[in-house]
């Protein structure tokens, strides 16, 4: 088995929505990024890459490459999932925590789980999405941005039962 962790932050900027877990959520600000700024999927992709010691998404999708400008992070995640499969591993489960003062994540949790499960090719029951505020503390609490952290567990494909 292989374990991986990931972390990502994007700052709020002008806009009327954020993308989180592949879900478009109306908000009073957007997230500034080279891609669509989806911290949930970026943290998850980095966790997957971490588990296979495959670098990070900055290495694989450099922000100097115009190909990734405004990129759909679900496409990035699917590409990373392909790298994991190519290394001979499958995802046993993943767990993401969103750190945000706003918007509220709860109403969108199931949609995010469904998107992630589809992109990883696993059952929704294996995908956890959680959220917390930081009680007004720090950059998240001041609503300067959104952070996400993720953990994944992989097993060699074909090995063992769940």
- Binding residues for Mg ion, rule CB under 5 A, total 2
CB of 152 to Mg ion, least distance (A): 17
CB of 112 to Mg ion, least distance (A): 16
CB of 46 to Mg ion, least distance (A): 8
Give the DSSP per-residue string, 73-130.
HHHHHHHHHHHHHHTTEEEEEEEEEEE-SSS--GGGHHHHHHHHHHHHTS-GGGEEEE
8 A C-beta contact, residue 133 and residue 140: yes
16-55 residues near Mg ion, rule: CB under 5 A: 42
CA atoms within 13 A on the CB side of 63: 10
Q: Among 4, 8, 54, 71, which residue interacts with Mg ion (rule: CB under 5 A)?
A: 8
Give the residue with the Cβ less far from Mg ion, 36 or 126: 36
Give the residue with the Cβ less far from Mg ion, 8 or 126: 8
Site of tokens 């300067």: 144
Instruction: Give the interface with Mg ion as residue ranges (CB under 5 A).
Output: 8, 42
């Amino acid at each position: 088995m292989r374990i991986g962790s990931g972390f990502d932050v994007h700052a709020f900027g002008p806009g009327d929505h954020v993308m989180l877990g592949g879900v478009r959520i109306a908000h009073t600000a957007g997230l500034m990024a080279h891609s669509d700024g989806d911290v949930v999927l970026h943290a998850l992709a980095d966790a997957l890459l971490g588990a296979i010691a495959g670098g990070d998404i900055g290495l694989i999708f450099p922000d100097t490459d115009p190909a990734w400008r405004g990129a759909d992070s679900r496409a990035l995640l699917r590409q990373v999932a392909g790298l994991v499969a190519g290394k001979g591993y499958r995802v046993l489960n993943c767990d993401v925590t969103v750190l945000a003062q706003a918007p509220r994540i709860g109403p969108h949790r199931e949609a995010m789980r469904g998107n992630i499960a589809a992109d990883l090719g696993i059952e929704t029951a294996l995908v956890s999405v959680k959220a917390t505020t930081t009680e007004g503390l720090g950059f998240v609490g001041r609503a300067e941005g959104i952070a996400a952290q993720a953990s994944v567990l992989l097993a060699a494909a074909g090995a063992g039962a769940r």
